[in-house]
Amino acid sequence: MDFNLTDEQKSIRDMVRDFTREVISPKAEEIDQENRFPEEHIPKMAELGLLGIAYPEEDGGVGADAIAEAIAVEEITYGCAATGSILTAHYLGIDGLYLAANKEQREKYLVPGCQGEKLFAFCLTEPNGGTDVGSMKTNARLDGDNYVINGSKIFITNGAYADTLVVYAKTDTSKGTKGISAFIVEKGTPGLSFGAGDDKMGIRGAKTDEVIFENCVIPKENRVGEEGEGFKIAMTVVDRGRIGIAAMAVGLSQAALDEAVNYSKEREAFGKPISNFQGLQWMLAEMEADVAVSRLYTYFSASLKDKENYRLSKEASIAKLITSEASNRVVNKAVQIHGGYGYMKEYKVERLYRDQRILEIFEGTSQVQKMVISSYLV
């Protein structure tokens, strides 16, 4: 087992790192304060191939591996967690097509998605059910050569800004999760509308919206896979997507650690830098250990995405659980090291503290990850 990055992975890391420092990081504070979607970042990330970095070249992607994708998310999130969330949400959207789309759908939707010509959204969560997907109320009724969709989704990242939405709806309400199917809905489709954007605690630039379907008519050929396969597609996408959240946690943790180290060297107390005090050194050591372990397990779980027919539910949940909770500890210590200044918006760690909290909630709460992991044990 080789724990060293390949030359390609190092090259991608360095490219995205430079891009983040030059383009993403300088805008992060402004994006947070103005609560705005950073539309200017999308074409720039597309130019670098980041919107389809781990997808095959025949599907419009770069053809890199899943570890490279995790590295890209980590580096983008280091500079701006909101932009990292926008990127992972796009992957959730195109991943369903990668897994189940037919040839025509791949050419029409997946290729431009991977090339960054179209931004995607993943529409699963509803007001009455996030974890409980079976309670889904949104339905799709077949009417001749079309489906008519009615219902609503909430907390949809990229929602109102996406060109293409991959929507999960019940085609047979009597079958529970086995009655769920997947659909492609294009921006501008009559009957598709959006509620007021959410005003969130953190990752504020990653705008989330209510997505509303009122007799939204789409052609039959926009169904992805067969009727009733939607739940299987969605759960596979979510499993794979949890590795993206783990990568976000690593990037955010590294940013908090770097801020804490730099501040500890500059801040003086009792006539010397506070980095000279052993109690604080131990806090930094604990933070470094959390970041190192999180990064290694994220890369390991990412490597499993490239194994054909490998079900990575357990490993993805472990990655999501340990990295998100480690990021909580790391950011908390970073604020503590800053003392009163860590509570002030003029310091980056205040934003990181707010951005971090969602990592233990979306793509399945920590409690859901424990349910998944324990199911393999008992």
350-356 long-range Cβ contacts below 8 angstroms, 24+ apart: 351/28, 351/29, 351/32, 351/202, 352/81, 352/252, 352/255, 352/256, 352/259, 354/201, 354/202, 355/81, 355/82, 355/202, 355/203, 355/252, 356/81, 356/202, 356/249, 356/252, 356/256, 356/327, 356/328, 356/331
Q: Which of 210, 259, 315, 363 is catalytic?
A: 363
Q: Give the burial string for 291-326 (b: 16+ CB within 10 Å, else e).
A: beebbebbbbbbbbbeeeeeebbbbbbbbbbbbbbb
Residue 277: CB partners within 8 Å, gap ≥ 6? 269
Name the DSSP class of 129.
B
Q: How many CB atoms lie within 10 A of CB 221?
A: 12
The continuous run of DSSP H or E covering 128 comes out as none
Phi, psi (rounded to 5 degrees) for 121: -135, 150
HSE on the CB side for 352, CA within 13 Å? Answer: 34
Name the DSSP class of 173.
T
Question: Which amino acid appears at position 8 of this protein?
Answer: E
> Measured between alpha carbons, how far is 309 from 311 in angstroms, rounded to an integer?
6
Which residue is associated with the tokens 């993943």?
A: 122
DSSP for 21-70, written as a single string: IIIIHHHHHHHHHHT---TTHHHHHHHTTGGGTTS-GGGTS----HHHHH
Name the DSSP class of 231.
H
HSE on the CB side for 145, CA within 13 Å? Answer: 2
Q: Strands, DSSP E only, in 111-145? A: 120-123, 139-143
Q: Specify whether 363 is catalytic.
A: yes
Question: Which amino acid appears at position 156 of this protein?
Answer: I
Task: Kindly list the catalytic residues.
Answer: 363
